[in-house]
Homo-oligomer: A and B are copies of this chain.
Amino acid sequence: MDSNTIRNGQYNSPFRMSIMRIGDLAKTTGVPVATLKFYLREGLLPAGTPTAVNQAEYDDVHVRRVKLVRALLHLGGLSIADAQRVLAAVDDETMPIHDAFGVAQDAMVPKLDRSGTRYADALAEVDRFVRRHQLRVRPGAAVRGMLADAVVGLAECDLLGEPVTDTCELFDAMVPAMVEQAEREVATTPHPALRAQQVEHTVVGTVVFEVAYAALRRMALEHASAQRWSAP
């Protein structure tokens, strides 16, 4: 059995696996051939099986990878370099799933200048927040910096109404619901399934649901703004 015969945790007959030229890969995924060639050049998509000079065949693994790459680049807004780091973690079969998820998570946090005392103070708040809720978040996880970015922004842009001693305390009440929802999301990881598929699922879920939740919140804000500022 090779890596193509398992999909979504179910065993499929190898005969059901699709073998296709690059033109059909483009049709199946909706990604133009020129973009697929770019993905190949950048190592975001593994080479197909050569069948003749300048010709290769692709299969379901490539279809899945194209969709993952598109989600990372377009929905996640990742740079090519960060997408490469995520995919390297997905593909490293020696790396335990949770470690790979950590590498991918770090690659998905925007690179910003995080020097200065304001940021250091915010990061200390975040560290206390993580300890207070006994969250299993790595000490050096980049996502701590992401929350610290927001903490600095909330204070600087006067979004808190009045100064608070610990901004993260505002989020304390949300933690149980957040963890519960995250546990539900992680529980949807296909099982049994190949390790790579499980990592992919967790990584792409982080990105795609994040866009969904952000869009829902923005819609709710537009609605609330209309109720507040505009005639019914």
A residues with a Cβ closer than 8 A to B are: 8, 30, 67-68, 70-71, 74-75, 77, 96-98, 101-102, 105, 108, 110, 112, 116, 118, 130, 135-138, 141, 143-144, 146-147, 149-151, 153-154, 156-159, 161, 171, 174-175, 178-179, 181-183, 185-189, 200-202, 204-230
Contact = CB atoms under 8 A, between A and B. Distances in A.
A228 B201 CA distance: 14
Given A67-B156, A158-B8, A219-B147, A98 B212 contact: no
B224 A141 contact: no
A218 B159 contact: no
In the assembly, how many copies of this chain are there? 2
Contact of A74 (B67, B112, B185, B224): B112
Contact of A67 (B137, B157, B212): B157
The 5 closest A-B pairs by CB, nearest first: A150-B212, A182-B220, A136-B226, A147-B215, A182-B224
B219 A143 contact: yes
B221 A159 contact: no
B96 A219 contact: no
Given A96-B230, A182-B220, A187-B228, 14 more contacts: A8-B158, A68-B157, A70-B156, A74-B110, A75-B153, A105-B221, A146-B215, A146-B218, A149-B215, A150-B208, A153-B204, A159-B205, A171-B212, A186-B225
A3 to B, nearest CB: 16
Contacts of A207: 153
A153 B98 contact: no
